[in-house]
Amino acid sequence: MKLHFYKYQGAGNDFILVDNRQNTIDHHNPELLERLCDRRFGIGGDGIMFLQHADGYDFEMVYYNADGRPSSMCGNGGRCIVAFAKFLGVIDTETEFVAVDGPHYAKISEEGTWVSLQMIDVEQVDRDGEAYVLNTGSPHYVTLAQDLKSRDVYAEGSAIRNNQTYCTNGINVNFVEPLADNNGYFVRTFERGVEDETFACGTGVTAVALAMATHNKQSGHITTPVKVLGGDLNIRFNYDGLRYTDIFLEGPAMQVFAGEIEI
């Protein structure tokens, strides 16, 4: 059969999107999904998502990593599927949808290219030596770095992701450097499931913003600009000294192309 798909990217984080509201595709097939995400033998993407019907919500987001396995929450994927839902006419400028980590609210611009996605609240930020460890829908390791532009993020990130502490469940590894003008951070991320560096990671930059607020002993309403390899993102949230709430991941989400592939 032919699979009709759309390709979206959010700050260089790219995804295959499929409208599966009629449940025509059985996506419980890791080998097929991995092949579709392969950049040489398939469509290519950091992951694949299926937009499905969900009682009580505008839609359900079902996300798989590039290895074809079910994943935890993907922030940039969430922003892209909101843009996809608007393109399909499922939503207008606001939505309530459900993902693997629960319900999410999002708002999208009239043009359909800028998405503000509310993330889950965070209560716990742990330490691993000098690094910060927290879950923003996916587990993240956040460490400060110098001369980040020239760091071997693949080798260093893979070593942390596969060490004795994290090898069983895996973890996403974020390297962070303050920008020269002290207005935000430059972030590079090694993602589990993709098992490589990606151009952006939504839950990763969210984790960075919260970790840096902890590191700098900030509280109140905080806005954190973040630069990634694929562009610019923004994170805003409230921190009362105990909990991070009203967390929003904001940035671009663009349709790249559409097509069909035989499966």
CATH of domain 2-119+253-262: 3.10.310.10
Same fold, 2-119+253-262 and 126-245: yes
Maximum separation of any 2 CA atoms in the chain, in Å: 55
- Of 37, 74, 80, 167, which is the active-site residue? 74
Express each pLDDT in 104-130 by its tens digit: 999 999 999 999 999 999 999 999 999
SS (H, E, C) the chain: CEEEEEEEEECCEEEEEEECCCCCCCCCCHHHHHHHHCCCCCCCCCEEEEEECCCCCCCEEEEEECCCCECCCCHHHHHHHHHHHHHHCCCCCEEEEEECCEEEEEEECCCCCEEEEECCCECCCEEECCEEEEECCCEEEEEECCCHHHCCHHHHHHHHHCCCCCCCCCCEEEEEEECCCCCCEEEEEEECCCCEEECCCHHHHHHHHHHHHHHCCCCEEEEEEEEECCEEEEEEEEECCCCEEEEEEEEECEEEEEEEEEC
pTM reported for the whole predicted model: 0.95
Which pLDDT band, with edges at 50, 70 and 90, does 180 fall under?
confident
Q: What is the mean pLDDT of residues 161-182?
A: 94
pLDDT at 43: 98
For residue 193, pLDDT beyond 80? yes
Which pLDDT band, with edges at 50, 70 and 90, does 182 fall under?
confident
Which pLDDT band, with edges at 50, 70 and 90, does 181 fall under?
confident
For residue 195, pLDDT beyond 80? yes
Express each pLDDT in 6-46 by its tens digit: 999 999 999 999 999 999 999 999 999 999 999 999 999 99
How many Å apart are CA 139 and CA 151, to the nearest integer?
22
Q: What is the mean pLDDT of residues 165-187?
A: 94
Q: What is the mean pLDDT of residues 51-61?
A: 98
Q: What is the mean pLDDT of residues 242-252?
A: 97
Q: Which residues contact 86 (CB under 8 A, 6 or more apart)?
A: 92, 93, 108, 112
Catalytic residue list contains 201: yes
CATH of domain 126-245: 3.10.310.10
Q: What is the mean pLDDT of residues 225-244?
A: 97
| Spans of all domains in the chain | 2-119+253-262, 126-245
